[in-house]
Structure 1
Amino acid sequence: MVRSVLDSFYLVCGYLAAAFMVGIGVCILAQIAWRMRGLTLDATEASGFCLAAATFLGLAHTMRHGSHVRIDLLTSRLPGRLRHRMNILNCLLGAAVTGYLAWNVGLLALQSFNFRDVSPGLLAMPMWIPQTGAALGVAALSIALLDEVVWLLGGRDSRYGAPDEVRIDAPVA
């Protein structure tokens, strides 16, 4: 039950990230259409907010599918048990850092909401809206990292490595 809830949560975050990517495209197309009519539409700020939301909301989904860029120069050379323990430590450290970041970005969004802070550009959008997307995305990544720690503590191999990943030291056919 918990597994399906978490997987659904990661998937929803991935869909939200994709929706914000579409939002970037819509902003660009709107600017082009208006420019072709001789009018000016400044959607740059809205595109930036969509980019921030897409980036942060996509973190957990991307990690769960093994698509994050990982540099394992050290861990790849460790023996199996030590590598496994290092993966647990890395996930715990990542969860702590992203949890701390999520907490503070969440507090920033709450503060922006309480002070009715708006963006400085032409759009004057309430700042809590994009900040909430960033906080939710980082919190989702922190949850995904803790989920991975629980998985690893069960004695299993990590799930975040891509099954078809290319190793630099592997011979290329």
Structure 2
Amino acid sequence: MRQALDRLYLWSGYLSAIFLVGIAATIIAQVVARFFPKVIVVDSTESAGFCLAASTFLGLAYTFRHGAHIRVTLVTRLATGMVDRLIHLWSLAAFIVIMGFMTYWSFDLVYFSFKFNDISPGLLAIPFWIPRSAMAVGSLILLIALLDEIVCVLMGKTPSYVENDMQAYEAHDDTPAVLDRERG
């Protein structure tokens, strides 16, 4: 099960990277198309925006698991033992509630976009359910990652985002965490 979940997060990160390449490709296509104004018309605004949304949401779970989300650790650095564990449980539970709400309504939005054949107003006229699906799937994968994480914390393990964050600090000798440990 652990390998399947890690693979899901990794492939979600790969898809996020592919959509980043999609942003670059559409912008390059628009720049090249400007040299041939009577032959090619490219509107990269919508497609780049859709790729940005897909990249953002599909990359959430991967970055969360690797400790790359911005976290305020002012309190958690001082907490130890059971207090630290309770803080992580509380924050994960709150995050699960928020993401559960968002995931539900994201899929609802996709469903109604499909049902009413909602089309983007730009040059490409893309059905909105397609880019919104990436948002809903990315939200769902993050929700799965959060549930995975809270189960790990309930089992007494260190959260993966903390573990990866500590490894990143240890990779650099001049970071505050390493300097604090060296001082005593």
What TM-score results when the alignment is normalised by the length of structure 2?
0.87
* Runs of at least 5 residues in structure 1 that lack an aligned partner in the other structure: none
Which residue number corresponds to residue 15 of structure 1? 14
2:16 maps to a residue whose letter is A
Which residue number corresponds to residue 140 of structure 1? 141
Aligned residues between the structures: 171
Per-residue CA distance 1:100-157 (angstroms, 9 max, x = gap): 1011011100000000001122221100011110011011111101101111111111
Tell me the distance in 2 between the aligned counterparts of 1:118 and 1:65: 36
1:48 maps to a residue whose letter is G
Match runs of 1:1-173 below 5 Å: 2-39=1-38, 40-161=41-162, 162=165, 163-165=167-169, 166-167=175-176
1:33 maps to a residue whose letter is V
Tell me the distance in 2 between the aligned counterparts of 1:38 and 1:117: 30
Which consecutive segments of 4 or more residues in structure 1 shift more than 3 A?
165-171
Cα RMSD of the aligned pairs, angstroms, is: 1.8
1:20 maps to a residue whose letter is F
Shift of 1:77: 2.1
- The structure richer in helix per residue is 2
Q: Percent identity?
A: 41
2:5 maps to a residue whose letter is L
Distance change (3 Å), C-alpha of 1:44 and 1:4: same
Q: Would you say the 8 A contact 1:95–1:141 is kept in 2?
A: no
* Runs of at least 5 residues in structure 2 that lack an aligned partner in the other structure: 170-174
Structure number, greater radius of gyration: 2
2:140 maps to a residue whose letter is A
Q: Would you say the 8 A contact 1:96–1:142 is kept in 2?
A: no
What TM-score results when the alignment is normalised by the length of structure 1?
0.92
Per-residue CA distance 1:22-66 (angstroms, 9 max, x = gap): 110110110011012235421110000000000000000111111
